[in-house]
A = this chain, B = another copy of it.
Amino acid sequence: MNAPLANDVFLRALLRQPTERTPVWMMRQAGRYLPEYRATRAKAGSFLSLCMNPDYACEVTLQPLERFPLDAAILFSDILTIPHAMDLDLAFEAGEGPKIGKPVRTAADVDALFVPDPATDLKYVVDAVALIRRELGGRVPLIGFAGSPWTVGTYMVEGGGSKNFAHIKGMLYAEPALLHRMLDVVTRATIVYLNAQIDSGAQAVMVFDTWGGALAPAQYREFSLDYMARIVAGVTHEREGRRVPVVLFTKGGGRWLDHMAATGADAIGVDWTTDLADARALTAGKVALQGNLDPCVLYAQPEVIRQEVARVLASYGAGHGHVFNLGHGIHPDVKPEHAGAMVAAVHELSPAYHR
């Protein structure tokens, strides 16, 4: 039995319920900018060992909460756990990012894909979620997550990170039915995976669509958004007597926020290239918005950070339904005190917008 939730301002904001201030967390808040993260990672040996050891994953998940008054914890993991569980030979090479040893390029490759069983193939994630929930002791909610099928698919087809997405876009234009078959398996795998995280204690879930913005509008809707919509429909919506909100985030998706809101998601992440005022107008009160400070603002001095936080809060304006965040993950070379200055500014300046 988990402890009752002491701070639920994040969950209320995601559901556009009244809050006394704007909640705040940071994408990649458990990460390389923290020396204590780098120490745990050194103990773990590799990035994958860190993800796959529930004790270490729990340790780094909680680290930023010890430093900053954040309103949510997010499971420490990676969006490529699903292809890893599909036996596609995932490795993280130092300085090179992820590599998929067995990329998915042919009909035979797609036929060989399967939906991993979270209870066995992804047990380390389920265990980490349960452990983190216990260790959080009800301080703040825990966010579970997965990559969007399109984004995870780019790594599966390209065999790693990519600049042009030549292989997967080649497949998209030349063999769309094959790509749809692949995305269908990844989507089914993602739904059972997120539901296992929710069963194990995740109180909100977020879908990261890092590469949806590389698509043309019609292709975005057909090959990324429609699969995220299936995920929104397929995840467990209530647990422990509360709604489990779903957040969708497409980097570079500013023009498509209305379509994203129409999926039924509770909240939409917005990167820093869209004004929250415009995002709010485009989504017409249908969803909460999460974002959107340019992560590079944290390179500046604390007084500048405070002023830019003020600008983001003013851009959203008066009313509930805003979760403060960066517009993308925190950069590894940011000073931790600068992240602290951002969090402090949100605490100080946001109550004025909730009266």
Contacts of A174 in B (CB 8 A): 299-301, 304
User: A262-284, CB under 8 A of B: which get 1 and which 0?
Assistant: 00000000001111001000000
A166 contacts chain B at the CB level, 8 A cutoff: yes
Contacts of A275 in B (CB 8 A): 216-218
* Of B252, B254, B296, the contact of A170 (CB 8 Å cutoff): B296
CB pair B331–A166 under 8 Å, yes or no, is yes
A54 contacts chain B at the CB level, 8 A cutoff: no
* Of B220, B254, B296, the contact of A166 (CB 8 Å cutoff): B296
The distance from the CB of A59 to the nearest CB of chain B, in whole angstroms, is: 27
CB-nearest residue of chain B relative to A220?
Answer: B273
The distance from the CB of A286 to the nearest CB of chain B, in whole angstroms, is: 20
User: A203-244, CB under 8 A of B: which get 1 and which 0?
Assistant: 000000000011111111000000000000000000000000
Residue from A172, A273, A278 whose CB has the most chain B CB atoms within 10 Å? A273
CB contact under 8 A between A173 and B297, given known A252-B273, A274-B255, A333-B166 = yes
CB contact under 8 A between A216 and B169, given known A164-B331, A174-B304, A331-B164 = no
A294 contacts chain B at the CB level, 8 A cutoff: yes
CB pair A217–B274 under 8 Å, yes or no, is yes
The 7 closest A-B pairs by CB, nearest first: A169-B296, A173-B300, A170-B299, A174-B300, A216-B272, A173-B304, A217-B275
Would you list 19 pairs from A and B whose C-beta atoms are within 8 A, ordered by A residue?
A: A165-B296, A166-B296, A166-B333, A169-B294, A170-B300, A173-B296, A173-B300, A173-B304, A174-B299, A174-B304, A213-B273, A215-B294, A216-B273, A216-B294, A217-B275, A218-B275, A252-B252, A252-B273, A255-B273
15 further A-B pairs in the complex, CB-CB below 8 A; given A166-B299, A169-B299: A164-B295, A166-B331, A173-B296, A173-B297, A173-B304, A174-B301, A214-B273, A216-B272, A216-B294, A216-B327, A217-B274, A217-B278, A219-B294, A255-B273, A255-B278
